[in-house]
């Protein structure tokens, strides 16, 4: 199929029988197309959705559900899981939206973020701010009403930490911003665990550390690809201020620490989780070491490969944990006693 040809059709977009967008729009005095009211409304709705970074929220699903299943090992409470996920999604959406408000200036500078809603002026910054704060308030009361007060408080703490500690303080001041700022992305497991138990157990702390240690190699792999953007915006992400050799060495160190943390959770889970964590951990380490070796040898490397793999790795670990928890077999600690 030639570029521009409609799938299954016989011409190009805008050809006979295929009116293009301009044929469906009016034109202003300057000759530019003017979208109809329904289209403008739809575009605005989509812009507000984009403020919440829906793809980032996927991590919430990957980590919260297994944490809740482990907290109630051998049992499944669909209603509690759904209400917790909804509250967690509202909290994550609030944090992401307020992050865009705080970063609106640098998003305009970086090519990767130039099309974000506030960077292209899709709505006033003040409207986005109110939207983000509202989402945060609703998330707190929702979690308090449907789970418990601790889960609601943890959601608020997450939002505040992400905005006031990471975005406004760490991000523009230190190359270790991702290391410490990544703590906000670890909180869904805490919220999930507390929603079930009303407390924070050692397993929740270990799951927190898994994500905390996983975040730097995951994020740095992406930033190696877009380091020029961060340099242009004067944001001192590690790949923007350090050599590729140093960055990839750090990636290897944190990859090892991540795998070690996943194995530390094994005593509180079963054989299935232990096998999945070990096998996927070896895979993760091999790719991290190959990236480091390639940089040291001066050969072309593809850091995005590690970025994508790291997503798959975390999903495998937590899916293995979910299956293991639902089955409810004896934990390794029980088997060894």
Domain ranges for the chain, please list them.
48-198, 201-227+241-329
pLDDT at 76: 86
Identify the pLDDT of residue 213. 97
Q: Among 155, 167, 88, 157, which Cα is nearest to 129's?
A: 167
- Closest listed residue to residue 84, CA positions, set 160, 139, 158: 139
The 3-state DSSP class for residue 26 equals strand
Q: What is the pTM of this model?
A: 0.86
Q: For 236-289, how does the pLDDT look when each residue is reduced to its tens digit (9 = 90+)?
A: 999 999 999 999 999 999 999 999 999 999 999 999 999 999 999 999 999 999
CA proximity to 261, closest of 333, 332, 213: 213
Q: How many CB atoms lie within 10 A of CB 82?
A: 12
What CATH number belongs to 48-198?
Answer: 1.10.357.140
Instruction: Work out the angle at residue 178's Cα, subtended by the Cα atoms of residues 249 and 85, and round it to the nearest 5 degrees.
Output: 125
pLDDT value of position 55: 82
* Two tokens, residue 82: 């759904």
Rounded to whole angstroms, the Cα distance separating 227 from 111 reads 11
At residue 12, the 3 state secondary structure works out as: strand
Residue 35's pLDDT is what? Answer: 65
The residues, ordered by sequence, that sit 6+ positions from 144 with a Cβ below 8 Å of its Cβ are: 151, 152
C-alpha distances out from residue 282 to 49, 92, 203, 269, 278, Å: 37, 31, 22, 19, 6
Joined together, the tokens standing for residue 308 give 């994508």
pLDDT digits (tens, 9 = 90+) for 89-106: 999 999 999 999 999 999
Q: Are 222 and 307 a contacting pair, CB within 8 Å?
A: yes
The two tokens of residue 45 are 């709705």
CB 208 within 8 A of CB 160: no
Taking the chain (337 residues) in runs of 10, the rounded mean pLDDT of each run is 38 37 44 70 93 85 94 92 96 96 92 90 95 98 97 97 95 93 93 96 97 96 91 91 96 98 96 97 97 95 94 96 94 88
User: 81: which residues sit within 8 A by CB, 6+ positions away?
Assistant: 65, 68
Report whether 90 contacts 62 (CB < 8 A): no
Distances from the Cα of 143 to the Cα of 146, 185, 222, 256, angstroms: 5, 18, 33, 35
Q: Report percent pLDDT > 90 for the chain.
A: 77
**Quick one: which of 203, 161, 185 has its CA closest to 68?**
203
Q: Are 91 and 142 in contact (CB under 8 A)?
A: no
């Amino acid at each position: 199929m030639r570029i521009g040809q409609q799938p299954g059709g016989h011409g190009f977009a805008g050809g006979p029988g295929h009116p293009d967008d301009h044929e469906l729009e009016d034109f202003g005095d300057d000759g530019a197309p003017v979208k109809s009211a329904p289209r403008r409304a739809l575009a605005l709705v989509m812009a507000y959705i984009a403020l919440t970074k829906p793809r980032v929220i996927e991590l919430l699903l990957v980590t919260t559900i297994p944490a809740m299943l482990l907290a109630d090992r051998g049992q499944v409470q669909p209603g509690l899981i759904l209400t917790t996920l909804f509250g967690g999604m509202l909290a994550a959406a609030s944090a992401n939206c307020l992050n865009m408000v705080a970063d609106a200036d640098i998003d305009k500078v970086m090519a990767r973020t130039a099309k974000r809603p506030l960077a292209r002026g899709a709505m006033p910054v003040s409207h986005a701010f109110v939207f983000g704060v509202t989402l945060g308030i609703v998330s707190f009361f929702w979690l308090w009403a449907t789970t418990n007060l601790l889960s609601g408080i943890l959601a608020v703490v997450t939002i505040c930490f992400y905005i006031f500690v990471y975005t406004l303080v760490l991000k523009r001041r230190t190359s270790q911003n991702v290391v410490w700022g990544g703590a906000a992305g670890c909180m869904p497991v805490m919220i999930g665990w507390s929603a079930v138990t009303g407390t924070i157990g050692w397993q929740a702390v270990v799951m927190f550390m898994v994500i905390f240690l996983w975040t730097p190699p995951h994020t740095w792999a992406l930033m190696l690809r877009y380091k020029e953007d961060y340099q242009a915006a004067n944001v001192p992400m590690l790949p923007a201020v350090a050599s590729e050799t140093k960055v990839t060495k750090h990636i290897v160190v944190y990859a090892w620490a991540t795998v070690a943390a996943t194995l530390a959770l094994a005593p509180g889970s079963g054989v299935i989780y232990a096998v999945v964590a070990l096998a996927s951990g070896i895979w993760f380490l091999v790719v991290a070491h190959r990236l480091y070796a390639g940089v040291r040898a001066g050969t072309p490397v593809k850091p995005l490969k590690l970025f994508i793999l790291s997503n798959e790795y975390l999903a495998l670990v937590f899916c293995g944990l979910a299956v293991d928890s639902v089955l409810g077999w004896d934990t390794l600690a029980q088997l060894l006693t």
